[in-house]
Amino acid sequence: MTLAVRYVSARSLDTAAVIGAPPGPGEVELAPAYVGICGTDLHIFHGDMDARVHTPAVLGHEMSGRVVRVGPGVEGWRAGDAVTVMPLRWDGSCPACRAGHQHVCQHLDFIGIDSPGAMQQRWTVPASTLIRLPDSLALDRAALVEPTAVAVHDVSRAKVAEGEKAVVVGGGPVGVLIALVARAAGAEVRVVEPSAHRRLLAEELGLTVWDPAADDIGALVGEWTRDAGADVAFEVSGAAGGVDTAVDVLGVRGRLCLVAIQPRPREVNLHRFFWRELTLVGARLYDRDDFERAVTLVADGTIPAERLISKVVPLTRAQAAFEALEGGGDVMKILVDCTDNTEGAAA
């Protein structure tokens, strides 16, 4: 038996003993160490994804941990190896897969949403999903590799180049990670974020942050770019106002990278797209190259993962952690400690 956090109904989690699955051919059993809670997990927690998620569902896909045992036919891995997981299982035969876009497989199994996730003491996954971690990387920091891979993919999709001016609308965990990855790519970056707590954290990381409630974003962009407008904008807020801001800040032939999952259809200023010949790019998930790059960025300190971790809680306090994240602005990233010592919490 293994202890797991399960989503059972809207705003209700339990921590229950479940029967673990031993690794079969091509599979590996892991001992998750830390699992991050992300925006998608919150959508599940709110009941917004009940049509897709089959209850009781073990959550979690932002993880780090170690190999416990390997199944038949698995080579290159052994007990004790530090790993994270690229939580994607594709069919390999759909049109998207045949075109080389397996990460957006038309029948994708996103592990932790469509199948059991990492928020448990033992977790069996395909060996093909494993990403090796350097021994020097602390496992709590390594739990941020997955969201960093999201940011790497977003910056790549937006084709951010050295010297370009980029605006990130939304300074939550993914927004800050995008800003840091874009800065590492040589871009000049500005972040737009209403939360004072998140603005302060971003500023402490050396980012320039604007408050949409107090600042004239259009005027600031005009001054910054000499009225040319930004080269690229990332919409990470998921709000209608954020979409408007991301469109408005762009200059001629600017690129808008849509990152946030919009909860409903949005009105978009298509005249602006016509007038300035703008480009809209969708960005979803990541591939193995994105993950490998993310490991490097977290391990070498380009991503100061420890600064983004607000709190670490044991499995038994996962419900409270989800509730704390609902407020949004006062916390950044909360990790769930999945080690066997589940009664004590680390701050």
Classify residue 277 as left (phi > 0), alpha (psi -120 to 50) or beta.
left
Indicate the burial class of 144 (C-beta count within 10 angstroms; 0-12, 13-18, 19 or more).
Answer: buried
- 161 contact partners, CB below 8 Å, separation of at least 6: 185, 186, 187, 231
Question: Per the structure block, which two tokens stand in for 203?
Answer: 């500023």
The DSSP element (H or E) to which 48 belongs, if any, is none
Helix, coil or strand: residue 308:
helix
Instruction: Tell me the C-alpha distance between 43 and 287, whole Å.
Output: 23
Mutual orientation of helices 145-157 and 288-299 as an angle, nearest 10°? 120
Q: Angle of helix 288-299 relative to helix 173-184, nearest 10 degrees?
A: 80
Give the ranges where the chain is alpha helix by DSSP (H): 39-45, 95-98, 139-142, 145-157, 173-184, 196-204, 217-225, 240-248, 270-276, 288-299, 305-308, 318-326
Record the tokens describing residue 27, joined without a space.
């599979």
Residues 77 and 310: their CA atoms lie apart, in Å, by 32
Q: Do 304 and 279 form a contact (C-beta atoms < 8 A)?
A: no
End-to-end CA distance of the chain: 28
Active-site positions read 40, 43
- Edge to edge, what strands does the sheet with 250-258 contain? 208-210, 188-192, 165-169, 230-235, 250-258, 279-282
